[in-house]
Structure 1
Amino acid sequence: MSSEPEAIAGLLRSQGQMSFVEPATNADIEAFEARHELPLPSQLKQWLLVSDGGDFFLPAGFQLLGVAHLPLIDVDDPDRPDDSYVVIGALSSGDPVLCERSSERISIYNHEAGRIEDDESFPDFFTFLTGLVAVVGAGEDDVE
């Protein structure tokens, strides 16, 4: 039986072109958290064990950063509203995808509006991933 992150990876692959990265190890994740004194969201950690970053819905969509493989999460990335957030990726629009420190919440920072929109804030990483099709506008409107 597959894990929830593996099932989500399969769902994403069925919906568009993905480029997943070699998985991180538990040791990689623990070392990253210790080095940056930053506990990552639990579901993000589960996902990193399946793919340590990657590109979703190619050619445009979402790029997730990793902890062991480039490009890496930069906990000091200034592309965020304040220090209570960490940039974990970016949409093709350039808007960063954030995790809140000491929280499971994942949000998209709308640069143009200078805020996080209610409909672009998710209770956890798996909810964000499963809603990614709607976020990037892939899927139903694609014509081959």
Structure 2
Amino acid sequence: MTSDEFRKLTDQFNEQGKMNFLEGATEDQISQFEKDNDIVLPSKYKEWLVFCDGGEFFLPAGVQMYGIAHKPLIDTDDDRPDDNYVVIGSLAAGDPILCEKSGERISIYNHEADRIEDDEVYEDFFAFLNDLTEILGIGG
């Protein structure tokens, strides 16, 4: 995934709704965050953070992604099913978006059912972004 590929995807999103993307983080900031929190973020998510360190998709009721340099920050302690996950965002309904502490998969944690649904697990952050309009029920 390159900045050009992220830019193409965010341009498509901007055609479908209002977005608010924040300035990207530096690779040094990401490395320091990982070191301070004893985690390894997914590689495609780190590429995203360099492109965009947090922001909101499909306002007013869509998805909020967290960053490492801009608030709200990635949550390494709360709102997750267990210690194997980190909260990197949330859906408007309140369900957190998770990444594995040492893996590539991105998941949505269903608070109400207290589980991660099989059809809400994505092989990487780009797969999650590609399915975002479907997740939100706004077509693709």
Q: Show structure 1 runs of 5+ residues with no match.
A: none
The offset of 1:114, in angstroms, is 1.1
Partner of 1:75: 76
Equivalent residue of 1:45, what SS? helix
Output the amino acid matched with 1:84: N
Whether 1:36 and 2:49 are equivalent positions in the alignment is no
TM-score calculated relative to the size of structure 2: 0.93
Equivalent residue of 1:39, what SS? coil
> Matched residues in 1 for 2:85 and 2:102: separation?
9
The offset of 1:139, in angstroms, is 4.5
> Matched residues in 1 for 2:109 and 2:69: separation?
24
Whether 1:86 and 2:108 are equivalent positions in the alignment is no
- Single out whichever of 41-50 and 13-22 deviates more from structure 2: 13-22
Equivalent pair of 1:57/1:138 in contact (CA under 8 Å): no
Equivalent pair of 2:18/2:57 in contact (CA under 8 Å): yes
Equivalent residue of 1:49, what SS? helix
Output the amino acid matched with 2:46: K
Which string of whole-angstrom CA distances, capped at 9 and with x for unpartnered residues, describes residues 44-72 of structure 1? 00011111000101000110000001111
- Over the matched positions of the two proteins, sequence identity in percent amounts to 57
Q: Pick 1 or 2: higher relative contact order, CA cutoff 8 A, min separation 6.
A: 1
Equivalent pair of 1:40/1:101 in contact (CA under 8 Å): yes
The offset of 1:3, in angstroms, is 2.7
Equivalent pair of 1:21/1:53 in contact (CA under 8 Å): yes
Partner of 2:130: 130
Equivalent residue of 2:46, what SS? helix
> Matched residues in 2 for 1:65 and 1:116: separation?
19
Output the amino acid matched with 1:42: S
TM-score calculated relative to the size of structure 1: 0.91
> Matched residues in 2 for 1:2 and 1:86: separation?
24
Partner of 1:110: 110
> Matched residues in 2 for 1:39 and 1:81: separation?
18
> Matched residues in 2 for 1:46 and 1:73: separation?
15
C-alpha RMSD of matched pairs (Å)? 1.5
The offset of 1:5, in angstroms, is 2.0
Question: Structure 1 residue runs of 4+, over 4 Å off?
Answer: none
Equivalent pair of 1:95/1:109 in contact (CA under 8 Å): yes
Partner of 1:18: 19
